[in-house]
Structure 1
Amino acid sequence: MAERELLKTDVLIIGGGIVGTSAAIALRRRGVSVVLLERDLCGARSSGINFGGVRRQGRAFGQLPLAQRAHRIWQDLPTLLGTDGEYVRSGHLKFARTAEDFDKLVHYRDGAAAYGLELELIGAAQLRSRFPWVGAGFAGASLSPEDGQANPRLVAPAFARAARDAGTVIREREEVVEVGRTLAGFHATTAAGLTVQADHLLNCAGAWAAPLAARFGDNVPLTQGHPAMAVTEPMPYFLSLSLGIEGGDIYCRQVARGNVVFGGGRVEPGAAGVDAIRSTTTALFRQMRSLAALVPRLEHAQIIRTWSGIEGYLPDRQPVLCASPGTPGLFHGFGFSGAGFEIGPAAGEVLAELVVDGSTPTPIDTFDLRRFTPPSTAHTQSQSPQHNESRKATTT
């Protein structure tokens, strides 16, 4: 019988997306030893299959401090990762179809200013003169000139490489099947027989994070969502901005080589389950109608690839980013609801600060998982740390 492998570390991270790997980088900078376990390949799930929008505009106000922190990290991406990941501050333009939607953009502009996000409102009369490619009938738009876009298929693996280069022990294709905590600390065992012992545990398991959290009494109503994505053939370059729309049913961007990446809406998994999720013709036709209305010259564009993936969603579309209320040494960072690409690097740094310092200068009260717990239950959990649990889990 092969000898079972044992690793000991200060921090165990479960999940190799951008949040987990950026946390690993930040922890290694503080001299903390880290082991990261990933069920598949790092960055292969939501971190690597998303649209690639690096935007602050449109986020809930409570997310803007985290988004502003992330904005500074993205600015220095080549130093952090050794690659720019095709990141450009192209600007993000968000359209309003109706006067009511434009009023929402005005309200958002006014509220976002308190967080240092400056937005320019553009009325209907100016739209066609400034952006001649836009379709008719829009009531206006909001421009965030320093928001941008990047290639998630380059950026997500680059975070993992940078974490490994910083000294993180990364083990891919390691499905965690048992996890628990005793007075000696946390322990996790994988299907391949690897056991990791750690003083701290970071739950960055994305769409699979809820079962892991529940092992320690932290229950959250996380569901899985599946974005519908597509990309066109290369076309003459004309669209420097990343586009969105109030209501969120379509978004698109054009990359330097001419392809237009677009998405909007979600698809349902077929009989093969979430691991074989694909976009559908129904979703694609719906997107193309919205896309052609927004940018008419794309009406006859040829689609060369479609895809989907798996993202973790919470009812209020806000992530969980906090220390466990009942289990000392356990920290959560998941549930970014399809909008974690931009803020992921900052979320990772916040988790590292919670581990090392016990607090973070970035406001995160909005992201506490106790918002989903009835007050009486929350009080009971806070009084009952779990020290002797060893439970089965299927996580990332």
Structure 2
Amino acid sequence: MDVIVVGGGLMGTAAAYFLARRGVRVTLIERNRVGTGATVASFGNIRRTGRYLPQLPLAHRSRALWGEAEKMLGRDVEFRATGHVRLVFEEESLADMRAYVEAARPWGLDLEELGPEEIRARFPGLGPDAIAASFSPRDGCGNPRLIAPAFADAARRLGAEIVEEVAVGEIVRTGAGFEVTTSKGVFAAERLLNTAGAWGARIAARFGEEVPLVARGPQMGVTEPLPHRILPVVGIWTRQKSDGYLRQVERGNIVFGGAAERTEVPLDPGHAKADPTRLPAQLRAIVRLLPALAKVTVIRTWSGCEGYVADMLPIIGASGTTAGLFHAFGFCGHGFQLGPGVGDVMAELIATGATETPLHDFRIGRFAAAA
């Protein structure tokens, strides 16, 4: 075997697929079922607006792959380029939005500024009190329940081995590469890719690479079905904690999140639960974005275990201590859009030793340098 991938969320399954597409022999190991961790708990936002600027090349690469996903994977993963609008309600937030728009343009992200009349005309019912908005027409959303299984199945068709529901024990460096001891046997390969999400820091620490990461759970919810409108994904520019966001799925339900502190999640067993006391603040935030939701019934809430790095940037790239070891974890709740691009970049890096997509700011060694 050439590569073992530990962790079967979106990052891991995408990497397995792109590795297999390059002819690399790959085994993916997942302790549960693929895509049932942080990926399935995601809001499903495919957003480039507001990203850390040096992350935009990776986000652009990933957006292109989202557009190819149905053809590439052989099934509809419900990627829809509905556009992404972020509403502005305060003057200070308008200044923040305009500063970001100007800063992002050299990085290849062109955002349209909408005034109040344009918002009303193009998106009736959205943010009646908004004073402005940014609009990114090529962004949108995808289905978090479909994407990782689709990548895993496509990887399997290309010859990848997908091992699910397996407990992982020791992970050690050997003279020939790496050995991973599991409840289903010992797997060996020349290289190892750590895509273990909130558990990724534990794997890195085994090789002398400490990452300041905590596990937290976002809170998401979904309403009863409503008459379907082609809404963009809706968010907000704000310095407040009322950062709600929402989108409508094709069956009519409104999926929403934000406006609630993320809860701490113990990694053992790593089960995150929604907190009903946080729901009223979320509902106030989304009603501000779309007042028509004021009398709508919420039918379900949920959470998931995500890894948050101290500087809110992910770990992506080669190990700083161990040849043949690679990392892609700690996406701080912002990884869904990046997933296909991360998988493609890691496959390129592992297979060729280099990638044109800049990853310097996401290197794991940044914490050792600061120590």
Q: Same fold (TM over 0.5)?
A: yes
SS in 2 for 1:297: helix
State the shift of 1:201 in Å.
0.4
1:277 offset after TM fit, Å? 2.2
Q: Which residue of 2 aligns with 1:336?
A: 331
Question: How far off its partner does 1:74 sit?
Answer: 0.7
Distance 1:132 1:24 in 2: 42
One-letter identity of the residue aligned with 1:194: G
Q: For residue 223 of structure 2, what is the aligned residue in structure 1?
A: 232
Partner of 1:107: 99
- Residue 72 of structure 1 and its aligned partner are, at CA, apart by 0.8
Native 8 Å contact 1:269 1:278 kept in 2 = no
**2:363 — aligned with what?**
368
CA offsets 1:296-326 (integer angstroms, 9 cap, x no match)? 1101110111111111111222111010011
Task: Describe the SS at the equivalent of 1:137.
Answer: coil
Query: 123-132 or 196-205: which moved more?
Result: 123-132
Could you tell me how far 1:274 is from its partner in structure 2? 5.7
Provide the rounded CA distance (Å) in 1 between the counterparts of 2:196 and 2:70: 26
Moved >3 Å (runs of 4+): 269-276
Amino acid at match of 1:235: L
Aligned to 2:213: 222
1:263 aligned onto 2:257 = yes
Residue 48 of structure 2 aligns with which residue?
56
Which deviations, in whole Å up to 9, do the C-alpha atoms of 1:196-244 show, x marking residues without a partner? 1110000000011001000001110111110100100011123521001
| Residues 116 and 130 in structure 2, CA contact (< 8 A), matched pair in contact too | yes
Identity %: 45
In 2, are the aligned partners of 1:267 and 1:279 still within 8 Å (CA)? no
Aligned to 2:66: 74
- 8 Å contact from structure 2 (residues 215, 266) kept in 1: no
Q: 1:159, 1:121 → 2: CA distance? A: 35
Q: How far did 1:269 drift? A: 5.3
Query: Aligned letter for 1:167?
Result: G
Q: Is the 8 A contact 1:225 1:266 kept in 2?
A: no
- The one-letter amino acid of 1:212's match is I
Q: One-letter code of the match for 1:157?
A: P
C-alpha separation in 2, matches of 1:104 and 1:137: 18
Unaligned runs of 5+ in 1: 1-8, 378-396
| Contact persistence 2:81–2:137 (CA under 8 A) | yes
Q: How many residues align?
A: 367
2:77 to 85, 91, 96: 85
Q: CA deviation at 1:293?
A: 1.5
| 1:317 match | 312
TM-score, length-normalised on structure 1?
0.89
- Pick one of 189, 196, 219 that aligns with 1:198: 189
Give the aligned residue type for 2:279: L
Deviation at 1:275, TM superposition (A): 3.8
Q: Which amino acid aligns with 1:91?
A: G
**What is residue 351 of structure 1 aligned with on the other side?**
346
Matched residue SS, 1:188: strand
Aligned residue in 2 for 1:389? none
The offset of 1:110, in angstroms, is 1.0
8 Å CA contact 1:20–1:204 kept in 2: the answer is yes
CA contact (8 A) 2:216 2:264 kept: no
Deviation at 1:182, TM superposition (A): 2.1
2:288 is aligned to 293
Q: Confirm or deny: 8 A CA contact 2:14 2:148 kept in the other structure.
A: no
Gaps of 5+ in 2: none
Give the letter aligned to residue 255 of structure 2. Answer: V
Moved more, 234-243 or 322-331: 234-243
Whole-angstrom CA distance in 1 between matches of 2:122 and 2:176: 63
- Matching residue's letter, 1:182: T
- Secondary structure of 1:374's counterpart equals helix
Residue 365 of structure 2 aligns to which amino acid in structure 1? R
**Counterpart in the other structure of 1:23:** 15
CA RMSD, Structure 1 to Structure 2 (Å): 1.7
